[in-house]
Homo-oligomer: A and B are copies of this chain.
Amino acid sequence: MKDHTIDITLSSTKKQKPESDQLVFGRVFTDHMFIMDYTEGKGWHDPRIIPYQPIILDPASMIFHYGQSVFEGLKAYLTKDEQVLLFRPDKNMQRLNKSNDRLCIPRIDEELALDALKQLIMIDRDWIPGAEGTSLYIRPFIIATEPFLGVAPSKSYQFIIILSPVGSYYKEGIHPVKIAVESEFVRAVSGGTGTAKTGGNYAASLRAQEVATDKGYSQVLWLDGVEKKYIEEVGSMNIFFKINGEVITPSLNGSILEGVTRNSIIQLLKHWNIPVTERKISMDEIYDAYSNGLLEEAFGTGTAAVISPIGEFFWRDEKLVINNGQTGQLSKKLYDTLTGIQKGTEPDPFDWVVEVK
């Protein structure tokens, strides 16, 4: 590891921690945060852990105008014997730098970022909830801070990490969601920013999400922006289908996000000798498989829910009910295995888990 000293200023007051069963997603933050500045000519400098506090920015700062930002999302888990585990955090730091490249943001030192993340977690260790399904959500993000209204890459940035204890995604055990296939709005297109984790992609998704919610669907399934035929991904999840014994998922086509969970699922399936293919998948193909009784399961994959079984698609005014709206066997097995690895209760054949000490 390179030499880098992270300056630490501890908070003199501690916030009240929420009860484990009161936890929701992303509303409560811990006592400290990590912050590091970038200045042109100087590079990234002054990595420090400080009490959680507001950010103070000139109103002309570029983040308010031109959306130059990237972020990541991962989780820390507390095991039964009070170990703190991270799941493939190096993958998130690599992806952060990939996003940086697309958004013209200077790369960060991945090792330093990982080290910062670990130190921050250890300082706010008491905030990691232990109850079934709970975890500490970690949000690293970078924002453009130069006060300048020209459309150009910013000359200054802040890299920040905040932590939020989050509740179980499934309050009453894993259960399927209903998804609306989106045929009007588009999330991303090849040549755009779809492969990067940047704010604009999520801003672009809000309108479609709102329409779907109004119709009683929890998320939208994005189709490609060119032909509006091929399946991309779901909200904050990649998507998988089990058709006639084979698992398929859209290939990394230049407009979807490469999920860490997606990658892990593919490796697990191969490990289990279950056929899995990454390829172009049209909605017509899914419809045909459904009509022929061959669409056995569908599920989303992402850090938040890990596995989110899909019980119904709404497409062209028709409801496609999958596996009687129940969680499929494979979905359940993947969920149990992956959450087990993350919580340290299942063997970890791929060395995915990293202990924070």
- A219 to chain B: closest residue by CB: B151
Interface positions, chain A 276-296, Cβ under 8 Å from B, are none
Contact A66 B103 (CB under 8 A): no
- Asked whether B59 lies within 8 Å of A57 as measured between CB atoms, the reply is no
With A103-B206, A139-B65, A184-B191 known as contacts, the answer to whether A26 contacts B198 (CB < 8 A) is: no
Q: Which residues of B contact A200 (CB under 8 A)?
A: 67, 193, 198-201, 203-204
A67 touches B199 (CB 8 A): yes
Query: How far is the CB of A64 from the nearest CB of chain B, in Å?
Result: 5
Chain B residues whose CB sits within 8 angstroms of the CB of A236 once the complex forms: 151
For the complex, is A269 an interface residue (Cβ under 8 Å from B)? no
Q: How far is the CA of A237 from the CA of B180 in the complex (A)?
A: 36
Q: Does A225 contact B (CB under 8 A)?
A: yes
Contact with B along A118-151 (1 / 0, CB 8 A): 0000000000000000000101010100011111
Assess A198 versus B67: contact at CB under 8 Å? Given A25-B150, A103-B203, A152-B206.
yes
In chain A between 159 and 208, which residues have their CB closer than 8 angstroms to a CB of chain B? 160, 162, 164, 184-193, 198-207
A58 within 8 A of B: yes
Closest chain-B Cβ to A238's Cβ sits at a distance in Å of: 15
Q: How many copies does the complex hold?
A: 2
A239 at the interface (CB under 8 A from B): no
Q: Please classify how large the interface on chain A is, using the bins under 10, 10 to 19, 20 to 34, 35 or more.
A: 35 or more
CB distance from A9 to the nearest CB of B (A): 16
A164 partner residues in chain B, CB cutoff 8 A = 60, 149
Contact A65 B202 (CB under 8 A): yes
The smallest beta-carbon distance between A123 and chain B, in angstroms, is 16
Asked whether A226 is an interface residue with its Cβ less than 8 Å from the other chain, the reply is yes
Asked if A49 is an interface residue, CB under 8 A from chain B, the answer is no
Nearest CB of chain B from residue A105's CB, rounded to whole Å: 9
Residues on the B chain within 8 Å of A225, using CB = 189-192, 225-226
Contact in complex: B26, A60 (CB < 8 Å): yes
Q: Mark A202-217, 1 if CB is under 8 A from B, else 0.
A: 1111110110000000
Q: How far is the CA of A185 from the CA of B53 in the complex (A)?
A: 38
A1 within 8 A of B: no
Docked CA distance A67–B58 (Å): 17
A104 at interface, CB cutoff 8 A: yes
Task: Give the distance to chain B from A210, nearest Cβ to Cβ, in Å.
Answer: 6
Cα-based distance from A153 to B202 in the complex (angstroms): 10
Inside 8 A of A185's CB, which chain B residues have their CB?
191-192
A29 at the interface (CB under 8 A from B): yes
* Seed contacts A65-B199, A104-B206; 4 additional CB < 8 Å A-B pairs: A53-B59, A54-B56, A66-B203, A199-B203
